[in-house]
Chains A and B, each alone.
Chain A
Amino acid sequence: MAMTEKDPVTGRETTGHEWNGIKELNTPIPRVVFVFLGLTFAFSLLWWALMPAWPLGASYTRGLLGADHRQDVSRALGAAQRERAAWTQEMESLPYAEIEARPDLMRVVSESGRRLFGDNCAACHGAEGRGGPGFPDLSAQLWLWGGEPETIEETLRVGINSTHEETRYGQMLAFGRDGMLSRPEIASVISFLRAHAQDVGEPDPRDAQGVEAGGAIFAEQCASCHGEDARGLKTAGAPDLTDGYWLYGGDRATLTRTLVNGRQGHMPHWEERLTLAERRILTLYVLGLKPAEGGPDDS
């Protein structure tokens, strides 16, 4: 029989085994271990009785409470919908002017609009709606397709150049690549545009060349979409070229790329992803976006 010995620190006997100098005390398992084993097991028994728990071949024990997490979810969603119904119906049916006159509805617009914009729009248009090259700055409140609430709502519904059947469709032709204009002609048009736009950034020595010739080409090639006065055409999504806001950039190099290769932006359609109430909230929300103080470059 291996020798047990008394441990001087605890006063306990060892088991008598020894492995490479390691011994074990024969301490009984503290009562607290059994108490907690009992408590946790009792809790489990109770929970198994109350909840769906054990498989029975093709079925399972349903539990006394009749809980079912799928039903719980449907119930919770139903309750949430009923709670929101108070304002969602009004948001869907009232004319925009009436909604704008109602502070309670406009608070919903500012609160959930911010969240909806963050989750759905901010990836392209930026958290503050200030956009970036190729992605319109919504806070500038300059609308390619029109800034009436109904028009924006429609843009949200069908998207631009999207996969929606009724999508808005717009395209800037590739005048250079497709041989409609030569490089010198494109340079003249750019000089013409830069001479008539509000904000063209850094002046360029080439700006003075070919302004008049450019005007003639513009009238012939561009005015059908952008208008004789270059103020754009909302039904075609053609931008105003005089307002100083450039979607892709107003410098000569970017304008050359735009004229040579054309442009065709893309905005997804939201009819399937967002409810009518959500799209109308977003419409009012983007109409309320303010440009950064001191100009859009601050962001």
Chain B
Amino acid sequence: MIARLTRHERQNALIILGLVALMGAVLGLAGRSDPLGWHGLLIVVFAAGLALPVLGALDAPEPTEDRESAYYDDPTRLGILLSMGWAVFGLFMGVWVAALLAWPELTFVDSPWASFGRLRPAHTTGVIFGFGGNALIATSFHVLQRTSRARLSGQLLPWFVLLGYNLFCLLAVTGYFMGITQSKEYAEPEWYADLWLVVVWVAYFLIYILTLARRKEPHIYVANWYYMAFILVVAVLHIINNLAVPVSFGQAKAYSAFSGVQDAMTQWWYGHNAVAFFLTAGFLGMMYYYLPKRAGRPIFSYRMSIVSFWGITFMYLWAGSHHLHYTALPHWVQTLGMTFSVMLIVPSWASAGNALLTLNGAWRKVRDDATLRFMMIAAVFYGLSTFEGSFMAIRAVNSLSHYTDWTIGHVHAGALGWVAMITFGSIYYLVPVMWGRERMHSAALVEVHFWLALLGTLVYVFSMWNSGVIQGLMWRTYDESGSLSYSFVDSLVAMHPYYVARALGGLMFLMGALVGCCNIWMTIRGASVSVPQDDRPADRNADRNLVAGE
């Protein structure tokens, strides 16, 4: 990886790492009497750990002049591995917290870090930002280059984005165990980690813009619109929701700029659109490249992809208030959130339909190829969970579903069924391509992973649907005298069998991911990366495709 950098670039890398280490040292010293001090130390160790190999290879041979004539895939390769690593960590944490809910006595250490409240965000951050985020960065770099026929912009910038992003994830997860959180769901990290992510994210956006600017295709492919929407909107959401004032520069704790119902509204505008633009738009970008590629079929309808894109982008941003039905939020805001959520079903289903109709003419492949089947099932779950989301956003439905496990089931139908499945499918397509292999080491293991993932998702989602609806009904059942029929504990007792089933479903999903890791390891072991002649960026001087009017 370092061999592909010139000596000058290696020196620049050292300067950047030095600045990061300095920043860590300042944080560590300022916060030495606070958990922040440990994070300062972590940043220093992280930067030093990266600087050592660069320093060791400072005088290694420089890359040849023709590096510009190949795609820059090293960051994608590392991104795939990091993504799978985070998947195992995040899914394991998920199984752990699921087991804690079923058997609370499993809290085997009487220590704050082992409590549910600290483990649970480690699960959500591990899977959403660790697994999902790394997969998005890795695939977006790959898709961007192939559909632009241009090499990534910058030599260090992609590394800065990938590694800087993982530093953010590390700060987030280690912070939870120490009790560092601003208690905003999916936005738990405190001010310094948030600021760092802004820097990384701006660099990410820059790579996209600069690479697109030198593309050798006349049009920007639809996958790139989605990736761009994901990067841009996540930046806006992240910055606004995390506006906060630190207690001091030596303390991790900060207080939000918003309070009361405004804070809740800002948080769920963020939370809902994190689902929309992180977990939907980004992964739609993934789907629009890898699904037609694997199926060998043209996209069903170019026009439909345009309508869906603008529909999703416009309508999602209004829908966040449906998370706050029947709360202190004014009624009119709830009405807007609900109606936009209802309209949102149309572009969502148009996207899912576009994906499934693309498979017309390739259903035989879907039957035989588990990789393509991962993507097909992902599109089905995307359709399913977007319908469910719109349905649950209706106030009357929400009065039953809110605060119950139905919400958890809905989120996991999307996260396991859609996000994880499209990611695994894309990774199974991408790994042989990236490591110069004809195919994955074992097609049978991909099959095993597929069935474990599908079965695990179904067990999970069905148990949470049952549990959620039962819970919701028990909370609103009155006896003849007009009193509530069930105590809260009664509903907990009723949920127990479903909690056991949910833990088993999650365990199956985790086992599938472990099978995938083994398969990927066997595929890339001993591979020497060689670039096929037909997988190269366009000649930089050739402009044949940039004639206006095409």
Contact = CB atoms under 8 A, between A and B. Distances in A.
Contacts of B219: 17, 19
B300 A43 contact: no
Interface stretch (B4-12, B233-241, B481-489): B481-489
B303 A28 contact: yes
Contact of B485 (A14, A19, A41, A115): A115
A84 B292 CA distance: 63
Given A40-B342, A48-B335, A115-B486, A20 B147 contact: yes
B330 A10 contact: no
B550 A24 contact: no
Interface stretch (A61-69, A157-165, A211-219, A230-238): A61-69
A49 B479 CA distance: 37
Interface stretch (A52-60, A131-139, A180-188): A52-60
10 contacts: A22-B298, A27-B303, A29-B301, A33-B304, A47-B339, A54-B332, A54-B336, A84-B483, A112-B481, A115-B486
B343 A40 contact: yes
B348 to A, nearest CB: 11
Contacts of B307: 29, 33
Contacts of B289: 22
B331 interface: yes
A119 B487 contact: yes
B511 interface: no
Contacts of A60: 330, 332
B369 interface: no
Interface of A: 1-2, 7, 9-10, 14-15, 17, 19-30, 33, 36-37, 40-41, 43-44, 47-48, 51-55, 60-61, 63, 67-70, 80, 83-84, 87, 107-108, 111-112, 114-119, 122, 127
Query: Across chains A and B, which 6 residue pairs bring their CB atoms closest together, nearest first?
Result: A118-B487, A9-B361, A112-B483, A27-B301, A24-B302, A44-B339
Contacts of B371: none
Interface residues of B, number: 54
Given A24-B298, A51-B335, A84-B482, A10 B361 contact: yes
Interface of B: 146-147, 149, 217-219, 221-222, 289, 292-293, 297-305, 307, 311, 326, 330-332, 334-336, 338-340, 342-343, 345-346, 349-350, 353, 360-361, 479-490, 550
Contacts of A29: 301, 303-304, 307, 350
Contact of A122 (B221, B336, B489): B489
A23 B302 CA distance: 9
A48 B335 CA distance: 7
A44 B343 CA distance: 8
Contact of A19 (B147, B482, B486): B147
A7 B298 contact: yes
A87 B332 CA distance: 38
A152 to B, nearest CB: 20
A106 to B, nearest CB: 11
Nearest to A120: B487
B361 A22 contact: no
Given A22-B292, A115-B484, 16 more contacts: A1-B550, A9-B297, A14-B298, A19-B146, A22-B293, A26-B301, A26-B303, A28-B301, A29-B307, A33-B350, A44-B339, A52-B335, A60-B332, A63-B335, A84-B483, A112-B481
Given A21-B293, A25-B301, A44-B339, A112 B479 contact: yes
**B218, B336, B338, B481 — which one has the most chain A CB atoms within 10 A of its CB?**
B481
Contacts of A119: 487-489
B346 A36 contact: yes
B304 A9 contact: no
Nearest to A277: B483
Contacts of B305: 24
Given A108-B483, A118-B490, A53 B302 contact: no
A2 B483 contact: no
B485 A111 contact: yes
A47 to B, nearest CB: 5
A111 B485 CA distance: 7
A52 B303 contact: no
A52 B218 CA distance: 47
Contacts of B149: 20
Contacts of A55: 332
A194 to B, nearest CB: 33
Contact of B482 (A26, A83, A122): A83
Given A20-B147, A29-B304, A54-B332, A40 B298 contact: no
Contact of B335 (A27, A28, A53): A53
A63 B289 CA distance: 45
Given A9-B361, A47-B339, A55-B332, A69 B483 contact: no
A52 B331 contact: yes
A33 B488 CA distance: 44
A60 B331 CA distance: 10
Contact of A25 (B218, B298, B346): B298
B484 A19 contact: no
B81 to A, nearest CB: 23
A67 B326 CA distance: 13
Contacts of A70: 331
Contacts of A7: 298, 361
A211 B288 CA distance: 87
